[in-house]
Every structure is written in structure tokens, then in C-alpha cells.
Chain A
Amino acid sequence: MRPHRLHRLTLLTRGVALLGLGAPAAACHKAATDGGNEPIHINAPFTPPPADAADPAAPSSSTAAAGAPDAGDAPAASAAASAPLLPRPPIRPNAPRGRGQGGGASQP
């Protein structure tokens, strides 16, 4: 690596920490709702209704039809949001361990 590039990296490292980097992960979801209202973004985190909430009325055919375009999305989003976190195996950069080769280490 050429000296000027190393110097640039050194300077880049010594700069002021970027705003936001290091923010607690949990904070990222807190702004997704506004005062208890429903999230306004279609990909906002899913919040399940309280367990003791009254059963909503069965949808009429007209409301079901109105919701049809999104019918495939909602259950998938809920499932993804409520799925438990799975344990992860040891780090695996980008290639199967022990199968290295020239194509790369883009691959380790």
C-alpha cells in the first residue's frame, strides 16, 4: 500500500467519530411510532394486539377485498418480526472454512 494512502487512512481514522455510530441498537425502534398511534411506515415493526383485546368483527367481503393487495404481506411481516433470535455459529467471513482458494479471500 502506497505511503500517501496509508497517510490518508491514518487521518481518516483520527477524525471525529461519526454521529450516530455506536448508538444503542434498541433505540432504533423507538421513533417508529408516534404517541401510541399506529406506525405510519409500511415496514415499521409489528406490534401484536394485547392478549385480552376483544375479538375484532369478522371482516366483511368488502373490507377483505379492499385489503386484498396487502393480504400476502402482513402475515409474513408479523412472523418475521416476532420470530425468536437463533443462536449463531462462530464467525465465518465469506467462505466455508478450510475451502479457501484463489477465487478469493473475498471468500474467506
Chain B
Amino acid sequence: MYTLKRTSGDDLALTREHEAIALPRRGAIRWGDFDASAYPAAALDRAADLWRTRAVQEMHSLALFTELASQLHVLGAPLDWSGAFARMIADEVRHTDLCLRVCDALGRPAAPSIDPRELRLLDRASPRAHVRHAVVAAFCVGETISGRMFRAALRAATVPLARDVVAAIVVDETFHAELGWELGALLMRRSDPSFDAERGALAAALPALFRHYAGLCCATGGPSWASRGPRAEPAPNFGELTYAGYAREFFEGMARDVVPGLAAIGFPEAARAFDELAADLDREGGEGGGSSTRTKS
């Protein structure tokens, strides 16, 4: 385990370069206008918990995309893949930095622990299958759902600083999802005789993959549970959805974007896998119950 620090602590050229990378690609964040004393301590605590968790998640995305980028040269991918991933990696650096800076602005500096053993990827049978699996999981599902969640968080946010930060992240996430679907389509082109076996193995893994993301997105209560209760916390809102709000974005994003997209690139099995998951979660959620209004952190 190690503690994630935002900067090295000295006046270094690398820190200045990082600060430049961490600036939003569009717009500006009005850090200096934020006055933490204007908000209740409980709201600041809750927001800091949320943004600290997001920092860890963005750090995991950074590690994943960096590792994926290293595989592109083995695959012989065109140079524009490397260019797109270079931006992706810079974006994840920016997001992690922004999340930590929000905690600083809230008066609750974050020093999250990172377990480097959790930053690795499974090595698949072939580099291409390995990359395809990771792209389908992290981009076609993960980034697509993430983009929806951040757009919902932007609609919910009432605190100007939170709106600025979430808006900066939304700009990047929109590109990530678009890139992910293009990569997914290109990787699903039939390239050699082993393609069918690799595609079949990934199709068979979709039910488990969808359930994994349901867990990550607070959606294990099922779609019926998610449809109850408010989507977002009341003001002051620092870009926070309720548990049910995150879950609803998951189910809507899966139904409207992920499943149709996967079918389009060659995974018709996605529809059945998702339908069965939703039914199973509804049944399991009905048995377990649970609150729909807590803020997930």
C-alpha cells in the first residue's frame, strides 16, 4: 500500500508540467471563489468522502489505461491509437488531480491508500484478446456508464466549484466513451482464425462482467429498487447522486447505450445477459431490501 500524494512537494519542472496537464481542456475552475465556511460541516464531510473515493477510482483508470497503452505497440496498432491513449492518460491524471484538489478546497485534504496489487490486469491468452477484453469492460461498459453518471452529477450539482470540476470531467468522459466504442469496433474485426474462439469466450464472460459493474455502480438492488426515491441529494449538492441515482444511471445506460452498442460490434448475447441480470437483481433486491437515498461514497 502507498499513500497517493498529488505533488512531490518541491518546486520542480515535473510538477509545473503536471499542473499544465491538469488544467481543464475547456473552461476554467474557479477555485478561488469557493468559500468552505459557507457550507455545513456535514455537507463538506460527505462531499470530501465522495471526491476522495473518486480520486481512487480515477487513479485505477489511470493505471489501466497506461497499461493498455503499453499493449498497443505489441499489437501493431496504428499510431493514432497511441495518440488517443496519450490523451486518455492525461485525462485520467487530470481527473485524479481534480478530485484531490476538491478535497483540499473543502478543507479536508485527502491521502487515499492505493494497493498496487489491484492495479494489474489479467493477462489473457493473447495480447489482442487481452486488450479487447479490457476495452469492452473499461470503455464500452465502464466509460459509457461513467459518462452518464458524471452528466447526471453535473445536473445535480448546485455548488459552483463542483459544477466547474464535474463539467471539466464530463468533457473528457464524453470523448472516452466515443473512443472506447471505436476501439471496440476495430478490435472486433475478424483478424485471424482464433477470433471466433476469443469472441465466444468474451461473450460468455458478459454476465459476470455486467454483474461486476452492477456492484461497482450501487445497482445490486435491481432496477425496481433503483426506480424509487430521488436521483440526487438536496442542495448544497457537490455533484452527488443517491445510491438509487447511481443505480438508475447504470440500468438506463446499460439498456440505452451499452447493450445496443455491444450488439452492434458483434455481441448479440449482451441483451440476454443484461435482461437476466436485471431480473436476478430484482429478485435478490426484493429479498434483501435497502435504502435508496443514501449517498454512495
Q: Is B153 an interface residue (CB 8 A)?
A: yes
What is the CB-to-nearest-CB distance from B60 to chain A, in angstroms, rounded to a whole number?
4
Instruction: Give a binary string over B193-236; 1 marks a CB under 8 Å from any A CB, 0 the rest.
Output: 00000000000000000001101111000000000000000000
B189 and A17 contact, CB distance less than 8 A:
yes
21 A-B pairs (CB sep. < 8 Å): A7-B264, A10-B264, A19-B76, A23-B75, A23-B76, A25-B74, A28-B73, A89-B118, A89-B122, A91-B121, A93-B60, A94-B142, A95-B57, A96-B60, A97-B216, A102-B153, A102-B249, A105-B217, A106-B138, A107-B56, A108-B217
B265 and A9 contact, CB distance less than 8 A:
yes
Q: Is A101 an interface residue (CB 8 A)?
A: yes
A20–B149 alpha-carbon span in the complex (Å): 36
B189 and A102 contact, CB distance less than 8 A:
no
CB contact under 8 A between A93 and B134, given known A20-B77, A25-B74: yes
Additional pairs, 10, CB under 8 Å, beyond known A21-B76, A104-B142, A107-B57: A18-B191, A22-B128, A88-B120, A91-B134, A92-B119, A94-B64, A100-B246, A105-B143, A106-B142, A107-B216
B138 and A93 contact, CB distance less than 8 A:
yes
B149 and A104 contact, CB distance less than 8 A:
yes
B188 and A94 contact, CB distance less than 8 A:
no
Which B160-190 residues have C-beta < 8 A from chain A? 173, 176, 181-182, 184-190
Which A70-92 residues have C-beta < 8 A from chain B? 88-92
Q: Is B241 an interface residue (CB 8 A)?
A: yes
CB contact under 8 A between A17 and B190, given known A99-B53, A105-B213: yes
The interface residues of chain B lying within 8 Å CB-to-CB of A12 are 182, 185-186, 265
Q: Is B245 an interface residue (CB 8 A)?
A: yes
B75 and A22 contact, CB distance less than 8 A:
yes
Instruction: Give a binary string over B237-272; 1 marks a CB under 8 Å from any A CB, 0 the rest.
Output: 000110001100110000011001101111000000
Which bucket holds chain B's interface residue count?
Answer: 35 or more
**Which A-chain residue is minimally distant from B64 (CB atoms)?**
A94
A5–B264 alpha-carbon span in the complex (Å): 9
Residues on B facing A (Cβ under 8 Å): 50-51, 53-54, 56-58, 60-61, 63-64, 73-78, 92, 95, 99, 115, 117-123, 126-128, 133-134, 137-138, 141-147, 149-150, 152-153, 173, 176, 181-182, 184-192, 212-213, 215-218, 240-241, 245-246, 249-250, 256-257, 260-261, 263-266, 296-297
The interface residues of chain A lying within 8 Å CB-to-CB of B57 are 94-96, 99, 101, 103-104, 106-107
CB contact under 8 A between A108 and B213, given known A13-B185, A91-B134: yes
The interface residues of chain A lying within 8 Å CB-to-CB of B134 are 91, 93
CB contact under 8 A between A21 and B128, given known A12-B186, A106-B61: yes
A91 and B185 contact, CB distance less than 8 A:
no
Q: Is A14 an interface residue (CB 8 A)?
A: yes
A25–B126 alpha-carbon span in the complex (Å): 8
What is the CB-to-nearest-CB distance from B252 to chain A, in angstroms, rounded to a whole number?
12
B76 and A20 contact, CB distance less than 8 A:
yes
**Which B-chain residue is minimally distant from A86 (CB atoms)?**
B120
A20–B192 alpha-carbon span in the complex (Å): 11
A92–B74 alpha-carbon span in the complex (Å): 21
**Which B-chain residue is minimally distant from A98 (CB atoms)?**
B215
A100–B57 alpha-carbon span in the complex (Å): 8
The interface residues of chain B lying within 8 Å CB-to-CB of A28 are 73-74, 76
The interface residues of chain A lying within 8 Å CB-to-CB of B213 are 93, 100, 105, 108
**Top 10 closest pairs, chain A to chain B, by CB:** A20-B76, A100-B216, A107-B57, A103-B54, A106-B146, A104-B146, A12-B185, A17-B191, A91-B122, A105-B145
